[in-house]
């Protein structure tokens, strides 16, 4: 028996019972559909997260106060002194740039309107370490630092919010926490999302911030951004920074009161979140395919019973067991595969909808369906049909021809 | 090799209905020569269909020996029996047993598909349909055909693999007398033209008069 003939016959048989076939594959459709949709959205989210992490630069390290692993009684704050020590080329040769930061939420106002944004106190080196591009104006200089000048670099979203435009705002004066500041530059949009939106920030000189806005005790800073020589030297930079800080903070071995995070750490976290998601989705897929498969088995058993006489006739004219097996397996596999394909289409549609909603609300989410997901879904749904069709097909193949022909 | 097409010795068939044994055949012997036309007659429940199923290798006897074309039909697997049915036996049933969703043509092609015939399959099926006078009905489905036409499709299906024997179990039982006559003429014509052996199961004496020999069954035994 040719496979093609079998497929045509199976399609014919499935089509003759459209409603029943449709209801039977619903489980597979919904299962595959939701998994494809969630995978697409998950992949899109992961791309966005890893993209925004990588955008910051792959050779950056983040030094923070405290420890994630241990409860420390008295973690010393990070200070400008720490930052200067890390910058020492003899102590930390793998480090090329250091940018201490202090940050907090601030109220900005112009022409009677006000809103909240993130204020960050930075040093001159922030521009090179963080790779800041300006739409217009100039970055904070040593003169501003020394003079504790009331000047600010605006993120494009802030400029838009305050002035309704992103260009031609240099020289304008606005208020931060009620104090007048002069705009000296506007950052290029980075396309923000994730934890912090870099477009919704105001950068001011560290010295100004310390004395006038985000007061900290004893030169304390919140984060020290460190730029390593290259992506390869991130590990050695990590060790050098740790050595410097341990010496300065006089902490016992193994009780660091600071934490150094690399891009790799962030990516690792993002990946592990996605992995959990994948396992979770895999579980849903497994359960729905199982349920769908049982549905298919059930309907195939019904179909075998209904077609007992047909099976008897086929056997009478010479069908062997394997011919009957093949006939019913083709039917169940096809049924399930069609369910899988409809599910893929459904999942694609759903993820496009989510993408459209995300786009409408300005979030960066581009659902992506990989060819591997499509192939896997097709393969899996077909395999489910084959597996759960096996028992009904065997039942059909094992029917006694005489009994089958006598069946009413 | 014997000259008999069919040689059955002392066939018995016992069906088990739970605890109860139903003796459908209680020792039937019969020989049929190639090209013979015979009818098996007897009251309902006398074992006619059971005997026919054994002759057609659709069922196995409980006891007794059966040779088809000199080959001992014993201890064969289901698939081996299927192949024998496919190549040597044609069945015509009272209820036609056509596949409802398929056309006359694909119904007739079915035995050739299981025989693995691909070359000229369509042509042979069309020829078989022409031979039963349905050359203009090949694309019709069973529900678009009259009872007589459906039975003629079934005959075309039974002869398409050139079997040595055609077994017809009450072939006219569901037909009006005119269609019944047509069907009989077609079957008898096959015997005349190709020497196909015919076995009719019937309780209609009208059919029996057309056959060379009549085997009477009663309670699973041959009588008279
Ligand atoms: N599969 C079966 N199971 C149990 N009893 C059967 C079966 N097939 C036939 N019989 C019994 O065997 C006897 C002979 O049946 P059958 O050969 O069909 O008779 P006929 O064709 O002459 O009417 C009947 O009593 C019938 O009930
Ligand atoms: Mg009968």
Distances (CA, A) of A265 to A44, A50, A56, A230: 20, 11, 14, 16
Please give the sequence-ordered ranges of beta strands (E in DSSP) within A123-158, or none if there are none.
134-137, 151-154
**Residue B1 pLDDT more than 70?**
no
* Mean pLDDT within B93-116: 95
Q: Tell which residue, A307, A252, A209, A263, has the closest CA to residue A13.
A: A307
Sign of the alpha-carbon torsion through A221, A222, A228, A234: positive
Phi and psi based region of residue B120 (left: phi greater than 0; alpha: psi -120 to 50; beta: remaining): left
The pLDDT assigned to B204 comes to 84
**A314 contacts on B by Cβ (under 8 Å):** 110, 114
Number of domains chain B is built from: 1
Give percent of chain B above pLDDT 90: 91
**Cα B211 to Cα A274: distance, rounded to the nearest angstrom:** 81
Ligand nearest to the CA of B46: 1
Q: Tell which residue, A294, A279, A388, has the closest CA to residue A332.
A: A388
In a mutagenesis test of the A interface, which of B84, B91, B113, B117 is the best target, namely the one with the most A β-carbons within 10 Å?
Answer: B113
Indicate the top mutation candidate among B12, B45, B61, B202 to test ligand 1's pocket, ranked by most ligand atoms within 8 A of CB: B45
Exposed/middle/buried for residue A337 (C-beta within 10 Å: 0-12, 13-18, 19+): buried
Torsion of CA A348, A353, A354, A359, to 10 degrees: 120
More confident: B144 or A251: B144
Task: Give ligand 1 pocket residues (Cβ under 6 A).
Answer: A 403, 406; B 15, 17, 22, 24, 42, 44-50
The pLDDT assigned to A330 comes to 96
- Looking at CA atoms only, how far is residue B176 from chain A in angstroms? 23
Q: Tell which residue, A366, A393, A282, has the closest CA to residue A49.
A: A366
**Cα A266 to Cα A49: distance, rounded to the nearest angstrom:** 9
ipTM over 0.90: yes
The pLDDT assigned to B13 comes to 97
Sign of the alpha-carbon torsion through A183, A185, A189, A195: negative
- Looking at CA atoms only, how far is residue A320 from chain B in angstroms? 5
Distances (CA, A) of A403 to A310, A311, A313, B50, B58: 12, 10, 11, 11, 10
Task: Name which residue sits closest to atom 4 of ligand 1, judged by CA.
Answer: B15
The one-character DSSP state at A217 is S
**Residues pairing with A64 in the sheet:** A223, A259
Q: A306 touching B, CB under 8 A?
A: no
CATH number at residue B183: 3.40.50.300
Residue B1: inside a domain = no
The pLDDT assigned to A1 comes to 56
pLDDT digits (tens, 9 = 90+) for A260-276: 888 778 778 877 877 78
Q: Are A367 and A46 in contact (CB under 8 A)?
A: no
DSSP per residue, A155-210: PHHHHHHHHS-SSS-TT-EEEETTEEEEEEEEEPP----SS--TTSEEEEEHHHII
**Cα B69 to Cα B3: distance, rounded to the nearest angstrom:** 8
Tokens matching residue B114: 């299981």
Q: Tell which residue, B94, B95, B129, B137, has the closest CA to residue B110.
A: B129
Residue B98: inside a domain = yes
**Residue B131 pLDDT more than 50?**
yes
Residue B188: inside a domain = yes
CA of B158 from ligand 2 middle (Å) equals 19
Say if the Cβ atoms of A317 and B87 lie within 8 Å.
no
Q: Tell which residue, A328, A312, A396, has the closest CA to residue B91.
A: A312
The pLDDT assigned to B207 comes to 87
Tell me which residue range forms the domain holding B90. Answer: 6-223
Q: Tell which residue, A377, A382, A384, has the closest CA to residue A344.
A: A377
**Residues pairing with B215 in the sheet:** B40
Indicate the top mutation candidate among B40, B47, B94 to test ligand 1's pocket, ranked by most ligand atoms within 8 A of CB: B47
Please give the sequence-ordered ranges of beta strands (E in DSSP) within B19-141, or none if there are none.
20-32, 37-41, 63-68, 71-72, 89-92
Give percent of chain B above pLDDT 70: 99
Q: Are A240 and A94 in contact (CB under 8 A)?
A: yes
Round the average pLDDT of chain B to a whole number and report it: 94
The pLDDT assigned to B114 comes to 95
Residues of chain A with pLDDT under 50: 194
More confident: B1 or A177: A177
**Residue B194 pLDDT more than 80?**
yes
Residue B184: inside a domain = yes
Question: B35 phi and psi, to 5 degrees?
Answer: 85, 0
Task: Name which residue sits closest to atom 25 of ligand 1, judged by CA.
Answer: B45
Torsion of CA B69, B71, B75, B76, to 10 degrees: -70
- C-alpha angle A344-A349-A353 in degrees, rounded to nearest 5: 145
Domain boundaries, chain A: 3-53+268-406, 76-256
How crowded is residue A23: how many other Cβ atoms within 10 Å of its Cβ?
12
The pLDDT assigned to B211 comes to 92
Q: A238 touching B, CB under 8 A?
A: no
């Amino acid at each position: 028996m040719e496979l093609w003939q079998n497929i045509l016959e199976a399609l014919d048989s499935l089509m003759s019972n459209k409603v029943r076939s449709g209801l039977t594959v619903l489980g597979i459709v919904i299962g595959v559909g939701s998994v494809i949709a969630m995978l697409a959205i998950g992949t899109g989210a992961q791309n966005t997260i890893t993209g925004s992490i990588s955008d910051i630069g792959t050779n950056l390290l983040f030094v923070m106060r405290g420890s994630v692993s241990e409860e420390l009684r008295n973690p010393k704050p990070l200070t400008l002194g720490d930052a200067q020590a890390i910058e020492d080329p003899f102590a930390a040769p793998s480090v090329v740039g250091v940018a201490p930061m202090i940050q907090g939420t601030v109220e900005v106002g112009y022409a009677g309107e006000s809103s909240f944004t993130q204020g960050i106190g930075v040093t001159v080196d922030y521009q090179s370490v963080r790779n800041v591009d300006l739409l217009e104006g100039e970055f904070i200089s040593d003169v501003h630092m020394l003079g504790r000048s009331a000047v600010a670099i605006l993120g494009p979203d802030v400029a838009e919010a305050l002035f309704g435009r992103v260009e031609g705002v240099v020289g304008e004066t606005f208020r931060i926490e009620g104090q007048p500041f002069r705009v000296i530059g506007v950052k290029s949009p980075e396309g923000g999302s994730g934890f912090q939106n870099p477009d919704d920030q105001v950068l001011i000189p560290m010295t100004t911030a310390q004395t006038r806005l985000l007061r900290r005790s004893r030169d304390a800073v919140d984060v020290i951004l460190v730029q390593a020589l290259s992506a390869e030297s991130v590990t050695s930079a990590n060790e050098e920074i740790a050595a410097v800080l341990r010496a300065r903070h006089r902490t016992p071995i193994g009780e660091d009161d600071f934490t150094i995070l690399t891009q790799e750490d962030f990516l690792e976290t993002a990946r592990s979140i996605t992995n959990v998601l994948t396992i979770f989705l895999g579980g849903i897929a497994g359960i729905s395919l199982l349920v769908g498969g049982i549905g298919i088995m059930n309907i195939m058993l019904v179909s075998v019973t209904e077609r007992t006489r047909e099976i008897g006739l086929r056997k009478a004219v010479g069908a062997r067991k394997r011919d009957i097996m093949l006939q019913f397996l083709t039917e169940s596999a096809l049924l399930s595969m069609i369910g899988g394909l409809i599910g893929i289409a459904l999942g694609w549609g759903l993820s496009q909808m989510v993408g459209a909603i995300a786009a409408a609300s300005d979030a960066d989410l581009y659902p992506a369906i990989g060819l591997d997901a499509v192939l896997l879904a097709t393969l899996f749904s077909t395999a489910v049909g084959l597996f759960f069709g096996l028992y009904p097909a065997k039942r059909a193949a094992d029917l006694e021809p005489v009994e089958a022909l006598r069946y009413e | 090799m014997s000259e008999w097409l069919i040689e059955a010795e002392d066939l018995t068939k016992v069906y088990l209905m739970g605890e109860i044994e139903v003796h459908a055949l209680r020792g039937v012997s019969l020989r049929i020569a190639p090209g013979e036309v015979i009818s098996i007659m007897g009251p309902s429940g006398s074992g006619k269909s059971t005997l026919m199923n054994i002759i057609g290798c659709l069922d196995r006897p409980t006891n007794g020996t059966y040779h088809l074309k000199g080959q001992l039909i014993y201890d064969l697997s289901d698939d081996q029996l299927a192949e024998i049915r496919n190549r040597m036996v044609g069945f015509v049933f009272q209820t036609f047993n056509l596949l409802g969703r398929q056309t006359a043509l694909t119904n007739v092609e079915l035995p050739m598909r299981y025989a693995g015939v691909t070359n000229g399959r369509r042509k042979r099926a069309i020829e078989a349909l022409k031979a039963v006078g349905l050359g203009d009905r090949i694309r019709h489905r069973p529900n678009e055909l009259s009872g007589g036409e459906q039975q003629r499709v079934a005959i075309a299906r039974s002869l398409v693999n050139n079997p040595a024997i055609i077994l017809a179990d009450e072939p006219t039982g569901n037909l009006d007398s005119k269609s019944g006559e047509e069907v009989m003429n077609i079957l008898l014509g096959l015997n005349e033209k190709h020497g196909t052996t015919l076995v009719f199961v019937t309780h209609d004496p009208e059919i029996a008069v057309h056959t060379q020999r009549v085997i009477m069954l009663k309670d699973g035994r041959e009588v008279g």
